[in-house]
A and B are shown apart, each in its own frame.
Chain A
Amino acid sequence: MTSAALLSGNEAIARGAWEAGVDFATGYPGTPSTEILEVLATLPGPRCQWSVNEKVALEVGIGASWCGARVLVTMKHVGVNVAADPLFTLSYTGVRGGLVLVSADDPHLFSSQNEQDNRHYARFAKVPMLEPADSQEARDFTMRAFALSEEFDTPVMLRSVTRLSHAKGRVSFGTRSASPVEKRFTREPEKLVMVPEFGRRRHRLVEERTLKLVALAETSDLNREIPGRSGEPGIIAAGIAYQYAREAFPGASFLKLGMCWPLPRKRIEAFAARHERVIVVEELDPFLEEQIRSWGIAVEGASTRSLVGELNPTLVAEAWGGGAPPALACCPSDLPGRPPVLCPGCPHRGIFSLLKTRRVIVSGDIGCYTLAALPPLSALDTCLCMGASLGVAHGIERGLPPGERRQVVAVIGDGTFFHSGLTPLVDLVYNHAHTLTIVLDNRTTAMTGRQEHPGTGRTLAGEPSAEVSIAAIGRAMGIPEVVQTDAYDLPRLGAELDRLLATPGPALLVNRGACVLLTRAPHGPVLVVDPVKCDGCRRCLVVACPALALTGAGKEARAVVDPALCTGCGVCAAHCDRGAFSPLSGGPR
C-alpha cells in the first residue's frame, strides 16, 4: 500500500528509515538534522534516543548494529567531526545490521560555525555516500542505504543539506517491513577487535570493498542519466545542486549522481565523451570536479563560481551561462539589518549584561547565547565549536602575559556542557587553571528547538530519567567553589560573579533559568517606563531586548516597553538607577 504526503527531507529520511525496519536510532540535535530523530520517535517500532554527543551516538549505534539491529545515526555536519574517531575505524570493522549515518550539512552557515563539505568524509573514511536531491529521494535513498550497508558490510553516509532537510516536496511511501538481520551478538575478534594485526587485515577488505562499490556505481540506478537536447551541455551534478542546474539549464543532459562516493569512472568518461561541453555543478568544494579532472576528463567547474555559500538557480546560471530571468529591481543595500536576538525574557540576558561591565574575557560556546556576541550586548569574545569555551578559556589564561590581570570566563549552555564540557572542565581543574566556568542552565537544548538532555530528567521518548546535576559534577571534580544562582536575580548574580572572579582557583557557577520558550509563562507583570523618571540614558538598552526600544530623539529620548512582548523578567529594570521601570498596573497580566 502506498500513500503520499508533503514531507521535508528530514521527515522523509525518518520515513525511509522506518519503512526499512530501523530498530534503533540515535544522534545529537543540530540544525539542520534535528527533526529526523524527532519525527522517527513519533512512529511506532524503533527505539529512538538522544545521545550526549555525536561520538557517543555513533558508538552506541555501532554496538546495536553489531547485534544485527538496523541503525540510523543523525547529526549535523560539524557533528561528524566529533564522531570521526569511531567512524574511521567503523569503516574497517563494518557492520552487521545496516548502519546509516546522516550528515546534514549547512552551506551558507544558516545556523552553524562553518560550512565544511562533508562529502570529503566519505572519501576520507572510505565509505559510500548517497546524496538525495529531493524529499522522495531522501526517503528512497535512506531505504537503499540500509540494504547497501548490509550487502557491502560498511556504514553508509547519507548527506543532506539545509535545502534538502528543510525543504518540502511530495513523497510516496509504503509501510514498515522488519529488518532482515538476525539479532544476536557473536564473537568475531578479527572483525570487531581493532588491534593492529586485525586492523591491517580489515584495511585490505576496505580497499576491496571500494572497488566493489565502484562496480556498483557503474551500473546502479542510484546514478542516472537524463537526456537533453543535442548541442546543449552535459552536466554532472548530485544532490540539491542538480535541482538548481535543471532549473538553469532546462535543455541540458544530466548525469545525476545519487551516490557521490565512490564515483563511476567509466560512466563519467562515457558521458563526457558524448558532450562537447561538460559542466560539474556542485556546491562548496570542487569535490566531484577534482576527482573527475584527475582522470584527465576536461570539465568546467568551480573556477567560475564562488566556493563560499550555497548555490541557487540564479548563481548556477551566472556561473556557467544558463538561463535566468532578468530581475526587475535590486535589493536595497541601505536597509537596517534584522539580526536574530535573544527572546524577550531570555534567562541568558542578565548574566551577559553583567559580564559586559566586568573586565573579563568571555570565552563562549555554541547555543542561543552565542547571540550575546552581537551588539549592543557584545559580551562574548570567542566561539569555536561545541564545548570549546572551557578549553579556550583555559588556553587564554595560559597564553596571556603574566602581568595581565583580566579574568577569563568560560560560558557554556547546559546541553553543550553535557555534550563536551565535562572533559575540559576536568582538564582545567587538573592543571590548576583559575577559569570561572559559567553554565547557562536553561533546562533544555534551546537553539535546536528544545530537546531533552541528561540535565532535564527526560528522554527523547518523554520518559522520566536521571536528572544529572551539573553542580554535583563540579563538586565531584573537586572544584572548591560551586555556586548555583537564579538567572533573574541580578543583584545576587552580580555579587557572586565578583566574589568568584576575586577567588583564585577554578570555580563553577550554574546560572539557572528555564528557557522562555519552554515555560511560555510570564515572569511577572509587564513593565512600564515612567517618562518623567527616565532620562534617556540608554543604560537599559544594553540588554538587547526586543521588547525594549528608544523613542524620541536627543533630550526627548525615552525608553519604552512593548507590552505585547515584555515577560516582566525585570533584567532591564535592574540596569536602571533612576527607578524608571515599574509593573504596569491593570496591565494584561
Chain B
Amino acid sequence: MSGTTNVLLAGVGGQGVLLGSEVLAEVAALAGFEVKKSEVHGMAQRGGSVVSHLRLGAEVFSPLISRGAADYLVSFERLETLRYLDFLHAGSVVLVNNQQIAPLPVGVGKAVYPADIETRLQATGVRCSFVEGHAIALAAGNAKAVNAVILGALSAIMPFAPELWEEALRHQIPARLLDLNLRAFALGRGTREPPRVR
C-alpha cells in the first residue's frame, strides 16, 4: 500500500461529492499519476450518504481504500465525517465542510444530530480543519458552489499546482457555471484555516 495517496470524499447526495472527486481525479491524472476512483450511484444518491474513494500513485490496484489508509478525509458535511473514522491513520488530514444537513430521521425527531463531532474528531488526534463552505459559497454567489469551495480548501493542502486544479475545473464544470465555481474555488483556497492539531 506504500506509494499511493488515498483520498476519501464523503458527504450527502446532492452536495456534489462525485463532481468533486471527478475534479480531483483529473488533477491527479494531469499531474502524471495513475488514478483509480470508485463510488456508488443509484439508490445511494437520493439524499443518502455518498462516499467516493480516490487513490493515486505510480501503480494502483484496488479502487477501494483500505481501512486505516485514508491520507485525506474530505467531508462535505459534519456528521458524515464520523462515518469514516475507521479509515484514518495517525498521519491523516481531515478537511470538514462545517455544514450541518439533518438526515430525515433527525428531521422527523426520531434521532438526534450528534453535538460532539469536534470532540470525537479531536480524540483521534489527526490534523483536522474546518471550512465554512456554505457561507463562502454564498459569498461567491450561490450555495450550490460549495463543492468548489471545498476543492479550493483541499487544493491548499494537497501538493498539486493551482493551474492543474483550474484546468480540471474548466474541463468538468459547465461553461455557464464556471466563473462562479472558479470564484468559489479561489475563496475556498484562501480562507482555509491552516491544518493544526485540535
Kindly state whether residue B198 has any CB partner on chain A within 8 Å: no
Complex contact A541–B49 (CB within 8 A): no
Interface residues of A: mostly helix, strand, loop or mixed?
Answer: loop
Residues of B within 8 A of A250 (CB): 1
Kindly state whether residue B157 has any CB partner on chain A within 8 Å: no
CA distance A550 to B113 in the complex (A): 13
CA distance A131 to B64 in the complex (A): 18
Binding stretch for chain A, among B99-107, B148-156, B158-166, B182-190 = B99-107
Complex contact A325–B80 (CB within 8 A): no
CA distance A376 to B111 in the complex (A): 12
With contacts A243-B61, A325-B69, A341-B104 taken as known, whether A168 is within 8 angstroms of B83 at the C-beta atoms is no
Nearest 5 pairs of A and B residues by beta carbon: A111-B42, A31-B42, A549-B107, A340-B46, A336-B111
Kindly state whether residue B19 has any CB partner on chain A within 8 Å: no
Complex contact A340–B47 (CB within 8 A): yes
Kindly state whether residue B5 has any CB partner on chain A within 8 Å: no
Complex contact B108–A549 (CB within 8 A): yes
Residues of A within 8 A of B124 (CB): 328-329
Complex contact B123–A168 (CB within 8 A): no
Binding stretch for chain B, among A90-98, A117-125, A159-167, A401-409 = A159-167
Kindly state whether residue B131 has any CB partner on chain A within 8 Å: no
Chain A 293-329: CB-based contact to B (< 8 A → 1; otherwise 0): 0000000000000000000111001000001111111
**B55 shortest CB reach to chain A, Å:** 10
Q: List A residues 527-545 near B (Cβ within 8 Å).
A: 538, 541, 544
Question: Interface centre among B48, B66, B84, by most A CB within 10 Å?
Answer: B66
A-B contact count (CB 8 A): 190
Residues of B within 8 A of A324 (CB): 66-68
CA distance A250 to B4 in the complex (A): 13
Closest to A330 in B: B86
Kindly state whether residue A421 has any CB partner on chain B within 8 Å: no
Complex contact A340–B13 (CB within 8 A): yes
Given A327-B68, A338-B47; 5 other pairs, CB 8 A cutoff: A329-B85, A331-B82, A449-B41, A541-B107, A546-B47
Which single member of B63, B67, B88, B125 contacts A167 (CB below 8 Å)? B63
CA distance A342 to B60 in the complex (A): 37
CA distance A336 to B83 in the complex (A): 10
Closest to A247 in B: B62
Residues of A within 8 A of B66 (CB): 247-248, 312-314, 317, 324-325
Residues of B within 8 A of A337 (CB): 103, 105, 111
Kindly state whether residue A170 has any CB partner on chain B within 8 Å: yes
Chain B 77-118: CB-based contact to A (< 8 A → 1; otherwise 0): 001101111111110100000000011111111111110000
CA distance A343 to B41 in the complex (A): 15
Residues of B within 8 A of A32 (CB): 41-42
Chain B 40-66: CB-based contact to A (< 8 A → 1; otherwise 0): 111111111100000000001111101
Chain A 333-374: CB-based contact to B (< 8 A → 1; otherwise 0): 011111111110000000000000000000000001001000
Residues of A within 8 A of B110 (CB): 375-376
Closest to A329 in B: B85
Q: Can you list 29 pairs linking A and B with CB atoms under 8 Å apart?
A: A31-B42, A110-B40, A111-B41, A167-B37, A167-B39, A168-B25, A168-B63, A244-B62, A325-B89, A326-B68, A328-B124, A328-B125, A331-B83, A331-B85, A332-B120, A335-B114, A336-B113, A336-B114, A338-B48, A338-B79, A340-B47, A341-B46, A342-B46, A343-B46, A449-B41, A544-B108, A546-B107, A548-B107, A549-B108
Query: Residues on A close to B: CB < 8 A?
Result: 6, 31-32, 110-111, 134, 162-163, 166-170, 240, 243-244, 246-248, 250, 312-314, 317, 323-332, 334-343, 368, 371, 375-376, 447-449, 538, 541, 544, 546, 548-550, 557, 564
CA distance A505 to B97 in the complex (A): 56
Residues of B within 8 A of A564 (CB): 143
Complex contact B89–A338 (CB within 8 A): no
Residues of B within 8 A of A332 (CB): 82-83, 85, 120
Complex contact A329–B123 (CB within 8 A): yes
Complex contact B69–A339 (CB within 8 A): no
CA distance A309 to B112 in the complex (A): 29
Residues of A within 8 A of B87 (CB): 327
CA distance A5 to B102 in the complex (A): 38
Residues of A within 8 A of B64 (CB): 163, 244, 312-313
Complex contact B26–A6 (CB within 8 A): yes
Complex contact B80–A338 (CB within 8 A): yes
With contacts A32-B42, A110-B40, A312-B66 taken as known, whether A336 is within 8 angstroms of B112 at the C-beta atoms is yes
Complex contact B36–A169 (CB within 8 A): yes
Residues of A within 8 A of B1 (CB): 247, 250, 313, 323, 325
Kindly state whether residue B34 has any CB partner on chain A within 8 Å: yes
CA distance A338 to B61 in the complex (A): 30
Kindly state whether residue B38 has any CB partner on chain A within 8 Å: yes
Residues of A within 8 A of B114 (CB): 334-336
CA distance A546 to B104 in the complex (A): 6
Complex contact A328–B62 (CB within 8 A): no
**A329 shortest CB reach to chain B, Å:** 4
Complex contact A327–B107 (CB within 8 A): no
**A379 shortest CB reach to chain B, Å:** 15
Complex contact B111–A339 (CB within 8 A): no
Complex contact B83–A335 (CB within 8 A): yes
CA distance A538 to B108 in the complex (A): 8
With contacts A329-B86, A331-B85 taken as known, whether A111 is within 8 angstroms of B39 at the C-beta atoms is no
Complex contact A550–B88 (CB within 8 A): no
Closest to A31 in B: B42
Complex contact B102–A549 (CB within 8 A): yes
CA distance A557 to B109 in the complex (A): 10
**B183 shortest CB reach to chain A, Å:** 20
CA distance A326 to B90 in the complex (A): 10
Residues of A within 8 A of B60 (CB): 169
Residues of B within 8 A of A338 (CB): 12, 47-49, 79-80, 103-104
